[in-house]
Structures are given as structure tokens and as C-alpha cells.
Amino acid sequence: MGKIYQGDSLMISKKAAMLPLACVLALGVQIGTSNAADVPVSVDGPTGSSIVGPEDRLQVNLDAGKSVSCTLFPNISPFVLGGVGGSVGFSNFIFSGPESGPMGTLNGALSPQITVGGIDTNNNDNRISFTSMTGGPHFFGLNIMSDSGSESGSESGSESGVDAVPGFPVNSVLVDFNCQETTLYGAFNTNANPFNFLEIENVTTGDVELTVTLINFDDTFESPTGQFSAVLGASSRSDFSVHDLVGPLRFGSVIVSHNGPKGSIRGRVSQYRATDTGGLDLSTSVPLTGN
């Protein structure tokens, strides 16, 4: 539905958002049609801006096994076309085909919190985090709610004396959005050092669910122990013995996906050698990299 503005042209949409609707139209900002649309979003791309309505979705192309976190919030000094506004956010349904797939996790209230204002009073649904089990396009549903709390999908009429733009849904709003990959990457080597531990810390105030995947140097998957899930409580740490999962004389990659915001978990792979007294000496500790 909405036209997307990115890069330098994003400033045009932000300036336009502070102007009366007649001025916005005079600037030539395209507001699309009444048909529902899938708005494409590039992972780790620049922040985009678009006018969206209740039936629109964000389209994100994802790689299998990767995790992302997407934010959606009203533009600076948002204007509402043909309505009085209300709440702008994600539904927790994600579509990878005709039917809805696994639900994402709404966590805009977790640190770092999403700041909202104006027509939006609930920040938790302004961010959604998700791990894709299959590659390809995924579609993130949106919630555009009126002040009365009911979802608006009307395409005509007016509220509070604001005339609806012909052919454009009531309560359509100008929003900013972005998606960031949150997957973490590392490496193990039980050939160089027999004891390898994956040490992960949750730095948020809520639970974060993660999936760990261990892949050998020859791209073979360590099954069935090479992939597992765990839940890290708020401000907690867990250590996983990689050497018990992959066995001796192995080396390869560690992939950690999760349903938290970007930066919500951090970790490292620490390698140890046995001492003569039966203890362990730290040989090396390498932080996980990524987002």
C-alpha cells in the first residue's frame, strides 16, 4: 500500500509528517491505494518509512536458522489519515506461506526499550523477535488500532472532522521500521583443546529462548546432539559443554539464534586443557560475534 522512503528521501517523509495533509499531498508524497500490501524490509538495511494500514504486512526475506528483531513505530509527529489514531504495532503472527507459521515474540518493553508516544501508548508490540526455521520470505502482520480499541479497516468516512483520503483506509499511519539480524557466531575446536564450553549470558530483564547449532568443519551437522534449545532467565548465565556434544578431535562453527532483542545475549567459546591435578586451565576465550 504505502510508498517506502529510505536513505535521504526518508527525511522527506519525516518533514511531511509534520505538515497538514493538504501540504503532504502538495509535496507529491505518494500514499498508495486502498489495496493491502506487503512492504519489503531489508535485514540490516537502513530504516525505512511507509504509510501502512490495518491490512498491510512487512515482508522480510530470512535465511533458515537465523534470528531477527524488527521494530515498528510511528514517525516523528505522526499524522493519521482519516482517523484519530490509537496503537501501532506488530501482531505476533508471522506468515511464511498461506497459513500462519510460528509466532514471534513481542518484546518492545525489554531493554533496550522502544520509545513510543503520540498516538501509540503500548511499546511492547513495537518490536518482534523471531528465529526462522525455513528460508525465504516471511510476512509480519501489523496491528493498527483505533482509540476505541477496535481494529480499523474502513476505507471511507471520517472521524473527529478529519476527512479520509479517497481510497485510503481510516487509521492508516506513517511509520518507521527496521529489521536487524540477531544471530551470534563462534567456533569450537576439541582437537586443539579437549574441553570447550559455550558460555552465554542473558543481559535483559526477561526470559530469552535460544537455539544452538553446532556444525562440523566439513559442513556436516552433529546429530542429534548438534542442535538444542534452552531458556535463559533474566540476568542469568548458562555454560554448555560443547566437547560432550560433538566429541573429541572436532572443530567447526557455533550458531546461536534467539528470540530476544539485538544485544540481549552475549557469549563466548572458552577452551581449556586438563591440569596434572585434575583441574582445567583456560587456554583461550573468544567472544561470539554478530548482532
Over range 16-26, report the average pLDDT.
Answer: 43
pLDDT at 269: 97
pLDDT at 225: 73
pLDDT at 152: 42
Over range 162-186, report the average pLDDT.
Answer: 72
pLDDT at 285: 96
Q: What are 62-87's pLDDT values in tens digits?
A: 898 899 999 987 765 444 444 444 56
- pLDDT of 160 > 70? The answer is no
Report how far apart the first and last C-alpha atoms of the chain are (Å, whole number).
31
- Please give the mean pLDDT across all residues of the chain: 77
Residue with cell 569450537: 188
Over range 195-204, report the average pLDDT.
Answer: 96
Percent of the chain with pLDDT over 90: 43
Q: What are 230-242's pLDDT values in tens digits?
A: 999 999 999 999 9
Q: What are 119-130's pLDDT values in tens digits?
A: 677 889 999 999
pLDDT at 148: 42
pTM over 0.85: no
Cell numbers placing 227: 542442535
- Tell me the sheet residues that pair with 49: 5, 176
Are the C-beta atoms of residues 93 and 159 closer than 8 Å to each other? no
pLDDT at 102: 64
- Nearest-CA neighbor of 131 among 101, 111, 154, 110? 101
pLDDT at 289: 96
- pLDDT of 28 > 70? The answer is no
Lowest model confidence (mean pLDDT) among 46-55, 74-83, 129-138: 74-83
Lowest model confidence (mean pLDDT) among 73-82, 109-118, 124-133, 281-290: 73-82
pLDDT at 291: 57
Domains of the chain and any CATH numbers: 7-181 (no CATH), 184-290 (2.60.290.11)
How does DSSP assign the chain, residue by residue?
A: -PPPB-GGGHHHHHHHHTS-HHHHHHTT-----SS--EEEE-BT---EEEEE-TT-EEEEEE-TT-EEEEEEEEPSS--EESS--EEEEEEEEEESSSSB-S--EE-TTSSSPPP--TT----GGGEEEEE-SS-EEEEEEEEEEETTSSB----S-EETTEEPPTTS-TTEEEEEEEEEE--EEEEEETTT-SEEEEEEEE-SSS-EEEEEEEEETTS-B-TTTTEEEEEEPTT-EEEEEHHHHH-SS-EEEEEEEESSPTTSEEEEEEEEEE-TTS-EEEEEEEE-EE-
Give yes or no for a cis peptide into 102 (omega within 30° of 0).
no
Are the C-beta atoms of residues 235 and 224 closer than 8 Å to each other? no
Higher pLDDT, 235 or 142: 235
- Tell me the sheet residues that pair with 217: none
Cell numbers placing 118: 503520540
- pLDDT of 211 > 90? The answer is yes
Grade residue 20 by pLDDT with cuts at 50, 70 and 90: very low
